[in-house]
Amino acid sequence: MVNIISIVPNECLPAGRTLQFFITDTDFVYIETLNSLRVIWGKCHARLDVGDCVLTQRLDLHNCGPNPTFIRVVKLHIDTKISFSHTPFISQFYPIKGALLRDLFSPLFQDYSRITEIEKMASQLLEQWSAPPSQELIHSQPKPHGSIDARLIKVNRYLRHHCEEIITLQQLAEFTKCNPVYLSNVYSKVFQISPMKHLQKMKMDKAKILLETTNMSIKEISNRLGYVSASQFSDLFKRHNGITPLLFKKIRG
């Protein structure tokens, strides 16, 4: 369970000053930057830009600029049953999850009456995430590397136009008139992702749009995107986004 302890909508950090966060094992702070800042933890550091956010226990924020900078802070108490990483969770490294954190906590700075509702959703979110993965699928399109076979361009065009259908590697191989293993190997070498993984990524992107912009149920979205069942779709969605489609819809819908 997550309990919100305090909310600071506009905290000033003077030029050249450092603000340290070092709190108990069951307390965290959500920090949202309104200006650029340097963030330091252990021997690591990163630059935060406007709108970036952090969920952390131990962190130094340093204002390297000549002018005062401002941050928003929510202090949280997290039940010990939730196992969460002590490494700072920084949105620029996890853009999908960072956007979810902003959508979840930002309304608190304008409407304190939503505290109970947001505590409940935050509990569900952090229980599902547990600890952030070492990497996240953030590519919206495959990035080419090396020369591109015309057949691979046909594959990408076909995937874009038919991503809501059930598509197999064998179908793609027949479409391009080549061996399926060869197709997968060449596609992966050029785009740094296999065609079937790219198809799943496109389906997940489409699912997020449908969850945000329509009243379709999870089962209806699952059927539309060609999944065998709603449970299969939900498992894949959580694997890609670290959160179930139902909770995603609650936060972003």
Written in H, E and C, the secondary structure of 46-77 is EEECCCCEEEECEEEEECCCCCCEEEEEEEEE
Encode pLDDT of 104-118 as tens digits: 998 899 888 889 999
Residue that wins the pLDDT comparison between 102 and 93? 102
Cα 3 from Cα 6, distance rounded (Å)? 9
The pLDDT of residue 231 is 92
* 151 and 58 together in one domain: no
Residues 18 and 104 in one domain: yes
pLDDT band (50, 70, 90) for residue 138: very low
Q: What is the pLDDT of residue 82?
A: 61
Give pLDDT, residue 41: 81
Q: Which of 66-70, 76-80, 120-124 has the highest mean pLDDT?
A: 66-70
Rounded CA separation 141/191 (Å):
9
Three-state SS at 53: strand
- pLDDT score, position 14: 93
Same domain, 100 and 153: no
| Domain count along the chain | 2
Answer yes or no: do 120 and 193 share one domain: no
Phi/psi for 4 (5° steps) reads -85, 120
Structure confidence by residue, pLDDT tens digits, 25-71: 788 899 999 888 888 887 788 888 888 899 988 889 999 889 999 99
* pTM of structure: 0.61
Lowest-confidence range among 82-91, 141-150, 199-208? 141-150
CA 208 to chain centre: 11
Q: CATH number of the domain at 90, please.
A: 2.60.120.10
Bridge partner list, 211: none
21 shares a domain with 43: yes
Nearest-angstrom CA–CA distance, 218 and 8: 36
- Report the C-alpha gap between 47 and 36 in whole angstroms: 7
Tokens coding 100 = 């979810």
For the cut 80, the answer to whether the pLDDT of residue 137 exceeds it is: no
Phi and psi at residue 227, to the nearest 5°: -90, 150
Lowest mean pLDDT among 8-22, 85-99, 200-214: 85-99
**Domain ends where: 79, 102, 129?**
129
169 in the same domain as 199: yes
Residue 120: how many other CB atoms lie within 10 Å: 13
> In the 8-state DSSP scheme, what is residue 106?
G
pLDDT tens digits, one per residue of 229-245: 999 999 999 988 888 99
Q: Kindly report the CA angle at 57 between 64 and 3, in degrees rounded to 5?
A: 125
Distances (CA, A) of 193 to 154, 180, 183, 205: 16, 15, 12, 16
Rounded to an integer, what distance in angstroms lies between the CA atom of residue 11 and that of residue 51?
15
Q: Which of 100-104, 125-129, 175-179, 218-222 has the lowest mean pLDDT?
A: 125-129
Q: Looking at the structure, do residues 151 and 119 belong to the same domain, yes or no?
A: no
- Same domain as 142, residue 106: no
Q: Output the average pLDDT for the chain.
A: 85
Q: Give the pLDDT of residue 80.
A: 61
Give the model's pLDDT for residue 189: 86
Q: Indicate whether 147 and 116 sit together in one domain.
A: no
Which pLDDT score, from 0 to 100, does residue 105 have? Answer: 92
| Domain final residue, candidates 100, 129, 158 | 129
**Dihedral over alpha carbons 136, 142, 147, 148 (to 10 degrees):** 150
Q: Tell me, what CATH number does 184's domain have? A: 1.10.10.60
- Per DSSP, 177 falls in state T
Same domain (yes/no): 88, 159: no
What residue numbers bound the domain in which 62 lies?
Answer: 2-129
> What are the backbone angles phi and psi of residue 161, rounded to the nearest 5°?
-80, -20
Which DSSP state fits 91?
T
